[in-house]
Amino acid sequence: MKKLAVALALSLLSPLSLPSMALANDNVVEAELNIYSARKEVLIKPLLDKFSEQYNVKINLVTGKADALLARAKSEGQFSPVDIIITTDVGRLARAKSQSLTQPMTAMLPEFVTLKDQDNHWVALTTRNRPILINPLTVDSNTITSYEDLIKPIFKGRVCIRSSSNIYNQSLVAAMIIQKGEEQALAWSKGLVENFARRPKGGDRDQIKALVSGVCDVAVANTYYLAAMRNADEASQAIANQVKVIWPNQSDRGVHLNISGIAIAKHAKNIHAANLLIETMLQKEAQYWYANTNYEYPVDPSIEWSGTLKAMGTFKHESIDLNQVGELNAQALRIMDKAGWR
């Protein structure tokens, strides 16, 4: 099923499939771009191949763990070959900026773009959300409607979540600091730790598996992991289809929002081609790909969500300054450590 979905999405990337935006310059010839990408090759290479063919730009793609790629760019310094950095979570994008790994972009951004750095050091390509997941056989969905509910006594020993070293959780706490204050963020973190079903371990898919296997009854995970499992092999589908998504805080601040994004490297050699790629990644074709192959939410509001995303339901999300979320990363981690979240 996954191969069929990818093949279908690829077929929709033909030049005639969707209208294209006007780009700054469509006469790029014999340029070259070196890209460090935290996105797996299968999730981004088809887009890069199309860009390469259309604009005669040679792409050299290096994929890897997000933190490792940023560390590599930092260690390479002014001798780094990287032109473009594609990574996940605003915390990493803010870190890259603070470590002088990026520079302002001059790309012509569409009017719908609002999720970007205040100094134009990065721009969001997709949004992702971090809702609450439950096993509906063991949890009444009416008993949990907010992140605050996760620390209720009835959920003691029933919650699974990744470790404090995970930046998705760090950004979740950073967002809570902005909206609820440091004192309440600490109290919530302590209460969550008291309700852990086990010592945090593994990734988001592992939390979903633990939910179904009975290790816990409630978990926190990004939606694209669940969506990917629902479109993978039969065993993964069997697990993922037993899980229900709860969109928290719909009566107040909304579910936690984060992004994947793109930036131009500080010592990039091919600035024009780099800006052209950013413009291309915000076109309808690329945004459609993200929604239907990566199972993330497109930043272009005109792009229809995939059937898998639609099935998870609509929601209200946080409306906060993502720059501030990134800037509060260190403070969030200190709170998590103080709470005993390991």
Whether residue 59 has pLDDT greater than 90 = yes
Which residues are 128's β-sheet partners?
258
What are the tokens at 5? 């979905």
For the chain, the first-to-last Cα distance in angstroms comes to 37
Q: What is the dihedral of CA 303, 306, 311, 315, to 10 degrees?
A: -30
Helix (H) or strand (E) holding 180: helix 167-180
Whether residue 60 has pLDDT greater than 50 = yes
pLDDT tens profile 248-264: 999 999 999 999 999 99
Bridge-based pairing state of the strands 297-298 and 84-88 = unpaired
CB 96 within 8 A of CB 70: yes
Nearest 5°: the CA angle 292, 243, 216 is 135
Return the CA Rg of the chain.
Answer: 20
pLDDT tens profile 159-172: 999 999 999 999 99
pLDDT of residue 182: 97
**Average pLDDT, whole number, for the chain?**
91
The SS3 assignment for 47 reads helix
Does residue 63 or residue 8 have the better pLDDT?
A: 63
Which class does domain 129-256+314-338 fall in? Answer: alpha beta
Fold for the domain defined by 2-127+259-302: D-Maltodextrin-Binding Protein; domain 2 (3.40.190)
Whether residue 95 has pLDDT greater than 90 = yes
Whether residue 43 has pLDDT greater than 90 = no
pTM: 0.89
pLDDT tens profile 3-31: 444 444 444 443 323 333 334 445 554 68
Domains 2-127+259-302 and 129-256+314-338 fall in the same CATH topology: yes
Domain boundaries, the chain: 2-127+259-302, 129-256+314-338
Q: 183 CB contacts (<8 Å, ≥6 apart)?
A: none
pLDDT of residue 290: 87
